[in-house]
Amino acid sequence: MQPPHASKERLCLYPAEIWLAQRLGLGATQSVDRPCLKRQLFGMVNRMLSDTGQNAPPFDPKPIARKFAKVQDIRVEALNCDGMLIPVNDGFIIKINRHQSRRRRRAVCAHELGHTFFYDLDRRPPQRGYLDTASPHWVEEGYCYEIAREMLMPESHVRTIITSRDSSKSILWFLKHLVQKFDCSPELVVKRIQDLDLWDAIIVIFQANDSDEGPYFVVKKYHSNPFKCGAFHSVRTIKMGTAIDETSILHNILLDTYVADKETVHREKVRLGQMEQVFLVESMPLKRSSSILSVFSANQQ
Ligand SMILES: [Zn+2]
């Protein structure tokens, strides 16, 4: 199914995308639309994986960095940001914040590698292939996140695992399975589940906070949290930053998970913003970030 704005996509490629289309050898940009550009781009990422001998998960961005992106060195050090890409004479240096988890560092490396796609690698030092003041910052950023997700969790590999799924396993089981298999953080896996619309579900990450009256929960400000997938894609649901009513069923479910510090499963009528319906709610604590990840699905799928 085409998104409603598909017909407009052909008309509004940003300078960053026009450069990308040229770099991918797509020729006359008038004939390139965004879905076509992304197909070619992700095809290139997959060729890079197989050309570095990577045919099964987990996938590693480092061999690609060296072989295709002229990355001279990858340094893990103290930074005041997640990571950075520094052009040097013969290519690039990638710096990654050492305070990140190992899985998060893999994602940052793949993201910074994504930025190299926007550079002209034939110049010394490499230079951006387009006038970056002419294109909104988020255009290139968005592509870098998408490149990173395709590199670490290629669509074809994820779909193969999902279609061979054992129907007795729950969405949360699969989410954890993908975390292990692809060696990615739960947060990145959730975003990928949303990208690929793998299930009919809403996945929410709640920040747990302690107060004198006990714990309370807030929808975490993180990417497009809540992550709406499949049949729930267009629903109006709870918003980022919303504090959960402490008299609600949802609060009790989250409290149960938080206090027990283990996974819980409930089937309850739950209010999520303007929606209220019976959901199967599978929740698990994300200990590193003092958060709870909850999968809301209509049925055991
Ligand atoms: Zn970036």
Residue 64 neighbours by CB under 8 Å, 6+ apart: 48, 49, 52, 113, 151
74: left (phi over 0), alpha (psi -120 to 50) or beta: beta
Query: How far apart are the CA of 114 and the centre of ligand 1, in A?
Result: 8
Query: How far apart are the CA of 141 and the centre of ligand 1, in A?
Result: 5
Angle between helices 137-152 and 186-195 (to 10 degrees): 100
Q: How many residues does the chain have?
A: 301
Output the domain CATH number for residue 197: 3.30.450
Average pLDDT rounded to a whole number, residues 180-192 = 96
Average pLDDT rounded to a whole number, residues 27-34 = 72
Of 107, 128, 152, the position where a domain reaches its end is 152
Query: How far apart are the CA of 82 and the centre of ligand 1, in A?
Result: 9
- Cα separations in angstroms, 80 against 90, 240, 273, 291: 25, 24, 35, 23
pLDDT at 9: 46
Query: How far apart are the CA of 105 and the centre of ligand 1, in A?
Result: 13
Query: How far apart are the CA of 97 and the centre of ligand 1, in A?
Result: 13
Query: How far apart are the CA of 20 and the centre of ligand 1, in A?
Result: 16
Does the pLDDT at position 185 exceed 50?
A: yes
Query: How far apart are the CA of 155 and the centre of ligand 1, in A?
Result: 21
CA 295 to centroid of chain Cα atoms: 16
pLDDT at 7: 44
Supply the DSSP symbol for 132: G
- Judge contact between 281 and 268, C-beta under 8 A: yes
Identify whether residues 134 and 196 lie together within a single domain: no
Does the pLDDT at position 4 exceed 70?
A: no
- Judge contact between 297 and 272, C-beta under 8 A: no
Identify whether residues 109 and 164 lie together within a single domain: no
Identify whether residues 19 and 132 lie together within a single domain: yes
Query: How far apart are the CA of 246 and the centre of ligand 1, in A?
Result: 37
Identify whether residues 123 and 257 lie together within a single domain: no
Does the pLDDT at position 1 exceed 50?
A: no
pLDDT at 300: 52
Supply the DSSP symbol for 243: B
pLDDT tens digits, one per residue of 128-141: 999 888 788 899 99
Which domain does 271 fall in, by range? 158-297
pTM of the model: 0.91
pLDDT at 32: 80
Q: Which of 284, 226, 220 is nearest to 257 (CA)?
A: 284
Identify whether residues 103 and 121 lie together within a single domain: yes
Percent of the chain, pLDDT > 70?
Answer: 93
Q: Which residue did the predictor score with more confidence, 193 or 6?
A: 193
pLDDT tens digits, one per residue of 242-293: 999 999 999 999 999 999 999 999 999 999 988 999 999 999 999 877 999 9
Query: How far apart are the CA of 2 and the centre of ligand 1, in A?
Result: 28
**Two tokens, residue 68:** 């295709």
Identify whether residues 79 and 190 lie together within a single domain: no
pLDDT tens digits, one per residue of 46-82: 999 999 999 999 999 999 999 999 999 999 999 999 9
